[in-house]
Structure 1
Amino acid sequence: MYETLNEVRADIAERLAAAASERRSPMHTPVVATAGADARVMVLRAFDPASWTLRFHTDLRSPKVAAIEADRRIAVVAYDRDAGVQLRLRGTGRIEGAGAAVDAAWAESTNFARRCYLGEGPGAASEGPTSGLPEQFEGVEPGDAELLPARGNFALLLVEVAEIDWFSLAHTGHRRALVTRYGGQWIAP
């Protein structure tokens, strides 16, 4: 059990780094909520411990993009059931559709993952069940040339974390701390 806020801060950084790099991490797919309480599960792609920034991939045509541009407040919730640790992060989001970081994230993605940005925009109406993908790409990995139009729909959601509510469940007694990049305090569970 941790006794200092520095130990809690280190635990948070370790968990978020693992969540971003290990797809089997229990915190790999946290819930992300915009200020209007519209929540969805997203894949955590990166965590920068120096700037306390989370990186997610998104579609520029997604309704959450407009929601974030209207009100940048974001909440992220991740839970590790086996460890009994919940992280509730609050911060501000920003959408980046161009630039070196976006180009690098696009380059790191596989063509199979990139094809998601070829289809209809998220939330588009359909007459029946659909993946939204063009028919020729259902279950098929497109080539680089076929993906050129997809790049224009790809963007990053960057969440600059302001505070993290760390909650540890334990039969010996729960622990909870509210931490910021440079400070924090213990609080009652």
Structure 2
Amino acid sequence: MQDDLEEVRRDVIGRLSQAANDRKSAMHTPVFATADADTRILVLRAFDDEQWTLRFHTDSRSPKVSVIESDPAVSVLFYDREEKVQIRCRGVARIERSSVAADTAWQQSDNYARRCYLGSGPSVLSDEPTSGLPEWIEGEKPTDEQLAPARENFAVLLVEIIEADWYHLAHDGHRRALVKPGGEAHWLTP
């Protein structure tokens, strides 16, 4: 049980770092909410513990992109059921389509992941169940050359964390704290 605010800060940083680097981490796939109160599960790709920035990948044609560009206020909810720790991050999001971060993320992705950006954009109506991928690539690993047109649909979604609300459920008394990137931290009643 953490009873020190600096321990809580280290716990937040440690959990977000692990979530970004370990796909088996309970916090690897948080709930992401845009300002219009729409939620979805995203995969956390990176956490910069110096800038307190989260990185996700997205299709630039996704409806959430226009919402973020209109109102960048977002929240990201992480939860570890076994350890009973919740981290609610409030932040400001931005979409980067052609930045160094976007180019690097694209280059580091494998071709199976990149192929998701080849097909129809997210939320396109269909008369039948579909992956959205072109038929010629279903179940196949595309070449770099085949993926060239997909790059224009790929973007990174970066979230600058403004504050993280850390909550630990415990039989001997819950603990809750609010931590901010610059070092400010406060205990809160659960």
Distance in 1, matches of 2:100 and 2:81, equals 36
Q: Which runs of 5+ in 2 are unaligned?
A: none
Distance in 2, matches of 1:137 and 1:174, equals 50
1:156 maps to 2:153:
no
Supply the AA of the counterpart residue of 1:100: V
Distance in 1, matches of 2:179 and 2:99, equals 31
Give how far 1:184 is off.
Answer: 1.5
5 Å-filtered alignment, 1:6-85, equals 6-85=6-85
- CA offset digits 1:44-97 (Å, max 9, x no partner): 000000000000000000000000000000000010001000000001000000
Supply the AA of the counterpart residue of 1:110: D
Supply the AA of the counterpart residue of 1:186: W
Q: Which runs of 5+ in 1 are unaligned?
A: none
Poorly superposed stretches of 4+, deviation over 4 Å: none
Match of 2:135 in 1: 135
Distance in 1, matches of 2:36 and 2:178, equals 23
Q: How many corresponding residue pairs?
A: 189
TM-score norm. by structure 2 comes to: 0.99
5 Å-filtered alignment, 1:105-124, equals 105-124=105-124
TM-score norm. by structure 1 comes to: 0.99
Distance in 2, matches of 1:52 and 1:99, equals 19
Give how far 1:138 is off.
Answer: 0.8
1:187 maps to 2:188:
yes
Distance in 2, matches of 1:74 and 1:22, equals 23
| 1:164 aligned counterpart, secondary structure | strand
Distance in 1, matches of 2:60 and 2:185, equals 35
Identity percentage over the alignment?
Answer: 58
Supply the AA of the counterpart residue of 1:118: L
Supply the AA of the counterpart residue of 1:183: E
Distance in 1, matches of 2:25 and 2:60, equals 27
5 Å-filtered alignment, 1:89-108, equals 89-108=89-108
